[in-house]
Amino acid sequence: MATDSPSINMEKVKANAERVLGFLGGALVSGMIYLGDRLGLYRALQDGVPVTSDEFARKTGLHERWIREWLQGQASAGLIDYKGDGRFALSPEGALVLAEENSLMFLAGGFCALPQQMAVLEKLPESFRTGMGLAYDELGPEGARGIERFLAPWFRTQLVPVALPKIDGLVSKLQAGAKVADVGCGAGVALLEEAKAYPRSDFHGYEISTYALARAAENKAKAGVRNVTFHDARSDGLPPDQGFDFITTFDCIHDMAHPAPVMNAIRKAIKPDGIWLIADIHGLPTFEDNLKDNPLAPLMYGFSMLCCMSSALSEPGGAGLGTLGFHEGVARKMTAEAGFTRFTAHDFSNPINAYYEVRP
- Quote the CA–CA distance of 323 and 51 in Å, as a whole number: 41
Q: Is residue 4 part of a domain?
A: no
Both 124 and 223 in one domain: the answer is yes
Answer yes or no: do 212 and 259 share one domain. Answer: yes
Instruction: Tell me: do 96 and 125 sit in the same domain.
Output: no
Q: How far is 216 from 220, CA to CA, in rounded Å?
A: 6
- Does 258 map to a domain? yes
Q: Is residue 212 part of a domain?
A: yes
Residue 215's CB is within 10 A of a number of other CB atoms, namely 21
Residue 207 to residue 173: CA distance in whole angstroms: 24
Q: CA distances (Å), 84 to each of 51, 59, 70, in order?
A: 10, 20, 16
Cβ atoms of 112 and 145 within 8 Å: the answer is yes
Q: Find, among 262, 247, 353, 269, the residue nearest to 315 by Cα.
A: 262
Residues 255, 152, single domain; the answer is yes
Residue 162 sits in the same domain as residue 309: yes
**Do both 95 and 124 map to the same domain?**
no
Same domain, yes or no, for 340 and 208? yes
CATH number for 297: 3.40.50.150
Which of 258, 251, 214, 215 is closest to 237 using CA atoms?
A: 258
For residue 4, what pLDDT is reported?
59
The answer to the question of residue 318 being in a domain is yes
Q: Which of 100, 133, 153 is where one domain is finished?
A: 100
Residue 106 counted as domain residue? no
**CATH number of the domain bearing residue 81:** 1.10.10.10
**What is the per-residue pLDDT for 2?**
52
- For residue 246, the SS3 value is strand
3-class secondary-structure state, position 272: strand
Rg of the chain over all Cα atoms, to the nearest angstrom: 23
pTM of this structure: 0.92
Please give the residue range of the domain that contains residue 92.
10-100
Same-domain check for residues 39 and 129:
no
pLDDT tens digit sequence for 246-276: 999 999 999 999 999 999 999 999 999 999 9
CA 200 vs CA 172, 183, 242: distances in Å:
11, 20, 20
Q: Which of 219, 145, 210, 212 is nearest to 185 (CA)?
A: 212
Clarify whether residues 129 and 158 are in a common domain.
yes
Is residue 25 domain-shared with residue 128, that is, in the same domain? no
* CA quadruple 237, 241, 247, 249: dihedral sign: positive
Task: Provide long-range contacts, Cβ within 8 A and 24+ apart, for 99-105.
Answer: 99/42, 99/43, 99/45, 99/46, 100/46, 101/149, 101/152, 101/153, 102/153, 102/156, 102/157, 103/153, 103/157, 104/153, 104/154, 104/157, 104/158, 105/153
Contact indicator for 274, 359 with CB cutoff of 8 Å: yes
Residues 61 and 169 in one domain: no
Half-sphere exposure at residue 193, Cβ-oriented, CA atoms within 13 angstroms: 20
111 in a structural domain: no
Are 96 and 127 part of one and the same domain?
A: no
Q: What is the DSSP string of 305-357?
A: IIIIHHHHTSSTT-----TTS--HHHHHHHHHHTT--EEEEE--S-SSEEEEE
Q: Residue 9: what are its φ and ψ, rounded to 5°?
A: -90, 105
89: left (phi over 0), alpha (psi -120 to 50) or beta: beta
The low-confidence residues of the chain, meaning pLDDT below 50, are 1
Number of structural domains found in the chain: 2
User: Which of 107, 119, 121 shows the shortest CA–CA distance to 152?
Assistant: 107
Whether 126 is covered by a domain: the verdict is yes
**Would residue 273 count as lying in a domain?**
yes
What is the pLDDT, as a whole number, of residue 351?
86
Final residue in a domain of this structure, among 100, 129, 160: 100
Give me the pLDDT at residue 3, please.
55
Nearest CA to 255 out of 350, 338, 139, 124 is that of 139
Closest Cα partner for 207 from 148, 283, 167?
Answer: 148
